[in-house]
Structure formats: structure tokens, C-alpha cells
Amino acid sequence: MISLFFHDSCMISSKTPPILGSKIRSHKQEPQTQLGIEQFLQCLAQARLDNDITIDKVMQHLNFSRQVIENMEKGELDFVPYPLNYFFARQYAQYLAVPFPEQFLMNHFRKGENK
């Protein structure tokens, strides 16, 4: 069972434990496409705006360039080379206090991976 939390138009999901007798699945499910990751990255932009955090403040705190932040917030997976994009996205989500979906695995951040 997946529970969903809505943040304006953005949806952030987290897993709930399986119900006894239900079909047991692995804890990390792979998204069917990279669309989920791209939407999550776009939601980070909305979270930043909702918390009145400027790009300059993010640049100062995380030492990311403006171009990296802007491209990440557009949902582009190649905002930095793989696998750094995975770690940058996790760090940015943590900075914004947005839970990073556990089903997003590092290999999903590889451009062209549709698992």
C-alpha cells in the first residue's frame, strides 16, 4: 500500500508496511519511467518557493551552481553527470526537508534508464 502526501500540485509518496496476508513486495519499487523522478525534482522547486528560500541561499548552503539548481528544478536528469545527479537530488531534498522517495534508486537517475 502506498500513501500519498500532496504538496500543492506535487505528490510525494512514502511506503506503508504491507498488511498481513497481502502480497509482499520488495521495499524499493522501481518507477516505470523517469517521469516520477522528473516530477519530484520539479516539486523541489515548489518546496523551495513555498519556504521563501532563494536560489542564492541554496547556492551558498549547498555550493551548487545556479545552472545546476535551475536545471534540476526543471526536472532534467542530466543537470550534472550520473551518478552525481542522484546524490545532488538527495542532498537538495534533505536541505528542503522533503522526504526523498525510497523507490528512487541510483540507477534510475541514469539518462535513458526506464526501469
Q: Is residue 114 part of a domain?
A: no
Q: Is residue 22 part of a domain?
A: no
Number of domains in the chain: 1
- Would you state the pLDDT for residue 5? 45
Q: Which is more confident, 13 or 112?
A: 112
What is the domain-level CATH number for residue 98?
1.10.260
Q: Is residue 115 part of a domain?
A: no
Global pTM reads 0.70
Please, what sign has the CA dihedral across residues 63, 68, 70, 76?
negative
- Which of 15, 14, 63 is closest to 40 using CA atoms? 14
Rounded to an integer, what distance in angstroms lies between the CA atom of residue 74 and that of residue 68?
Answer: 10
Q: Is residue 62 part of a domain?
A: yes
Q: Which residues pair with 10 in a beta bridge?
A: 7
Domain containing residue 34: 2-16+27-109
Q: Which helix (H) or strand (E) holds 78?
A: none
Contact 92, 62 (CB under 8 A): yes
Q: Which helix (H) or strand (E) holds 85?
A: helix 84-95
State residue 6 phi and psi, 5-degree precision. Answer: -100, 130
Considering the chain, what is the average pLDDT of its residues?
A: 78
Q: Is residue 7 part of a domain?
A: yes
Residues 53-105 have pLDDT tens digits of: 999 999 999 999 999 999 999 999 899 999 999 999 999 999 999 999 989 99
Q: Is residue 21 part of a domain?
A: no
